[in-house]
A and B are shown apart, each in its own frame.
Chain A
Amino acid sequence: MKRIIEGSPLIPKIERGKKIQVIVDDKRIEAFEGETVAAALLTAGITTFRHSQKNKEPRGLYCGMGICYECLVTINGVHAQRACITTIKDGMRIETCKELKL
């Protein structure tokens, strides 16, 4: 999973937002202002966002538009946030695969 640099007819070139840094599971990763948490995690190579409650199977981004609730992560200590519709902010602390207590 990588950011597209060159433009093309269907995906014209774009200047990204400002470079920012966030902490994902105690590791520092780079992201761009305007990206969603999911976009930043995926480009950092993180695709398992959580494990399912019953079978403990890996889950990640699925619908990408906020309706399937598969991409839940912990953001700044708040559980069960949808990575796909949450805009990333400088200094955000994101935790994947935290046991969810719903």
Chain B
Amino acid sequence: MIGSYELAVIGAGPAGMKAAITASQDGVRTVVIDSFLQPGGQYFMQAPVEYKPLGQTQTEKTGKELIQQFSSSPLTIFKGTLTWGIFKEENEEEWLIALFGDSETKFIRSKNIVLATGAYDTPIAFPGWTLPGVITCGAALILLKSHRIAPGTRAIVTGTGPLILSVSAHLLEAGVNVLAICESNTILPKGIGHAPTMLSHMHRLKEGAKYMNVILKNKAPYKTGWSINRAEGNDHVEKAFISKVDKKGIPFLASQVEHQVDLVVSGYSLTPNTGLARMIGCEMDYQADRGGWVPSRNEKMQSSISGIFIVGDGAGIGGAENAEIEGQIAGNEIALRTGHINLKTGQERFQELQPRLRNQKRFGKLYGDLFTPKPGLISLANDDTILCRCEEVTLGEVKKAVAMGAKTIGEVKMITRSGMGNCQGRMCEHSITGAIVKALSAELATFKTVGFNSIRPPLHPLPVNFLAEVQKELDVTE
């Protein structure tokens, strides 16, 4: 017997939790699947349950309240569980969702799905970026905030966006010597135009100011219009070279400065995690200022496919508050569709959320304007630089594939195997697309025409013996 639900939420970050809370409290039979052991996602990341906090930050406190509300809602939670496939036969009403985790449950069914799969740091390839000691902002923050571990002693932080400020401040408080914070974009002229929006987001300004204070107090240089251009080391990163970059993101090597480091933290804004949306076949659109490929949605957060809703950063970068509102809108709509609330209530609630949503969208616009990684950053890579870490495909090989006539990411994949490894292209798609666009003239290719890696199940590599069990269970069911 496969458990059947009215709503399955994938991901228990701010967006997913809010969707699940909203729907389940209206009586929608809800299940939540999260790949982590504790709800919260990246933003409301918790310390391990085995730890006892002796104090908490404001974000931790806000997160705890939401998690408390979530955990006391009438819903089923699968923690530490990967969703590796979502399937539906044309004549069926319910989706079949395939799980891999500690629980015996391998499949569940649901009429509606909310994808709330979040985002990850946009990886930018530079020589030496595969060396141990080069990690993403996400990795650094998990070590610092959740595990209370300082990931190095001498660091360069490089990327774009507010996350590099947060990482730097946390590193400094952990006693790490932050030698330079390289923000690859130039903020000021554009930033001034967005001043009115910023003023309606005072708490965000305050959070930024808090990080900036730590940075200033420690005299760590925050350099806008700078980026790492290469890292060197034998078994671990030992040197980082930083330089100015122009408006397109191309480095001025004349300005290069060398630093002795044992840590490089890199995060060039965020990329929505859209693997499941792609697998299901949701219509996608390329919007650089929202993080790249994002699913098309209607105002109720429904994708191009009926019953599939997509919310939060996994649908376009907008931050935690935007994620919560989007989650609420989707949860409300599903409560309406499943007959748990009436049309009037549904519409009233939807209208009530609109002003807050619009305010968040203004912030999203500001964020996209200021912190979209420059396409020219692909110039950091040279022909020997690995772009696809899994299959070890270099920029030179991608260029060769383009010279052979490849114009899309799929064609480059067929020739080079890029994107065919364990990560399913999540780490290389941005760089390889940039490389194809750069190798061809603007009339021949844009980020849109190059396309995206198509995703087939399993979304994550699975043990062979597990797949055998899955087959057995399916045989019994059918």
The reply to whether chain A is a binding partner of chain B is yes
A interface residue numbers (CB < 8 A to B): 1-4, 7-18, 32-36, 39, 42-43, 47-49, 52-55, 57-70, 78, 80, 84-85, 87
> B280 contacts which chain A residues (CB < 8 A)?
none
The answer, among A11, A52, A87, for a CB contact under 8 Å with B174, is: A11
> Could you jot down 18 A-B contacts, CB within 8 Å?
A1-B150, A4-B150, A8-B174, A9-B173, A12-B54, A13-B54, A15-B52, A16-B148, A18-B50, A34-B50, A34-B51, A48-B236, A58-B236, A63-B136, A65-B139, A68-B389, A68-B423, A68-B427
Q: Is the CB of B169 within 8 A of A10?
A: yes
Given A1-B152, A7-B55, A42-B143, decide whether A69 and B50 contact each other with a Cβ distance below 8 A: no
> B42 contacts which chain A residues (CB < 8 A)?
65
> Nearest A residue to B275 by beta-carbon distance?
A67
Q: Provide the bound-state CA to CA distance between A73 and B406, in Å.
A: 35
B461 to chain A, nearest CB (A): 7
Given A47-B133, A65-B120, decide whether A12 and B57 contact each other with a Cβ distance below 8 A: yes
Q: Is the CB of B52 within 8 A of A67?
A: no
Given A7-B55, A69-B461, decide whether A43 and B149 contact each other with a Cβ distance below 8 A: yes
Q: Is the CB of A66 within 8 A of B51?
A: no
The answer, among B48, B130, B173, B389, for a CB contact under 8 Å with A8, is: B173
Q: Provide the bound-state CA to CA distance between A64 and B139, in Å.
A: 4
Q: Provide the bound-state CA to CA distance between A18 and B51, in Å.
A: 9
Q: Is the CB of A80 within 8 A of B135?
A: no
A64 to chain B, nearest CB (A): 3
> Nearest B residue to A4 by beta-carbon distance?
B148
> A17 contacts which chain B residues (CB < 8 A)?
48, 50-51
Q: List B144-173 residues whose CB lies under 8 Å from chain A.
A: 144-145, 147-152, 169-170, 173
A35 to chain B, nearest CB (A): 6
Q: Is the CB of B120 within 8 A of A59?
A: no
> Nearest B residue to A72 by beta-carbon distance?
B422
Query: Does B405 have its Cβ within 8 Å of any Cβ on chain A?
Result: no
> A57 contacts which chain B residues (CB < 8 A)?
130
Query: Does B140 have its Cβ within 8 Å of any Cβ on chain A?
Result: yes
> Nearest A residue to B173 by beta-carbon distance?
A8
Query: Does B26 have its Cβ within 8 Å of any Cβ on chain A?
Result: no
The answer, among B51, B132, B151, for a CB contact under 8 Å with A16, is: B51
Given A12-B55, A35-B147, decide whether A69 and B173 contact each other with a Cβ distance below 8 A: no
> Nearest B residue to A3 by beta-carbon distance?
B149
Q: Provide the bound-state CA to CA distance between A33 and B170, in Å.
A: 23
A7 to chain B, nearest CB (A): 6
> Given contacts A63-B427, A85-B36, could you give 13 more A-B pairs where the C-beta distance is less than 8 Å?
A2-B150, A14-B148, A15-B54, A34-B47, A35-B48, A47-B132, A47-B235, A48-B235, A49-B132, A58-B132, A62-B130, A63-B136, A67-B423
> Nearest A residue to B47 by beta-carbon distance?
A14
A10 to chain B, nearest CB (A): 5
A65 to chain B, nearest CB (A): 5
> B273 contacts which chain A residues (CB < 8 A)?
67
Query: Does B355 have its Cβ within 8 Å of any Cβ on chain A?
Result: no
Given A4-B175, A66-B35, A68-B427, decide whether A59 and B53 contact each other with a Cβ distance below 8 A: no
Q: Provide the bound-state CA to CA distance between A55 and B210, in Å.
A: 44
> Nearest A residue to B174 by beta-carbon distance?
A4
Q: Is the CB of B131 within 8 A of A58?
A: yes
> Nearest A residue to B273 by beta-carbon distance?
A67
The answer, among A8, A36, A62, A69, for a CB contact under 8 Å with B147, is: A36
> A39 contacts which chain B residues (CB < 8 A)?
143, 147, 149
The answer, among A11, A32, A47, A69, for a CB contact under 8 Å with B421, is: A69
Query: Does B138 have its Cβ within 8 Å of any Cβ on chain A?
Result: yes
> Nearest B residue to A46 by beta-carbon distance?
B132
Q: Is the CB of A64 within 8 A of B136?
A: yes
Q: Provide the bound-state CA to CA distance between A15 and B53, in Å.
A: 6
The answer, among B135, B148, B170, for a CB contact under 8 Å with A3, is: B148
> A63 contacts which chain B residues (CB < 8 A)?
120-121, 135-136, 138-139, 427
Q: Is the CB of A67 within 8 A of B149?
A: no
CB 8 Å contact bits of B325-346 with A (1 = contact, 0 = none): 0000000000000000000000
Query: Does B377 have its Cβ within 8 Å of any Cβ on chain A?
Result: no
Q: Is the CB of A64 within 8 A of B142?
A: yes
Q: Is the CB of A67 within 8 A of B173?
A: no
Q: Which 10 A-B pairs have the closest CB atoms?
A: A64-B139, A34-B48, A17-B50, A34-B50, A12-B55, A60-B132, A69-B422, A47-B132, A15-B52, A8-B173
A87 to chain B, nearest CB (A): 7
Q: Provide the bound-state CA to CA distance between A53 and B391, in Å.
A: 8
Query: Does B134 have its Cβ within 8 Å of any Cβ on chain A?
Result: yes
Query: Does B477 have its Cβ within 8 Å of any Cβ on chain A?
Result: no
Query: Does B56 have its Cβ within 8 Å of any Cβ on chain A?
Result: yes
> B422 contacts which chain A residues (CB < 8 A)?
69
Q: Provide the bound-state CA to CA distance between A32 and B148, in Å.
A: 12
Query: Does B109 have its Cβ within 8 Å of any Cβ on chain A?
Result: no
CB 8 Å contact bits of B194-214 with A (1 = contact, 0 = none): 000000000000000010001
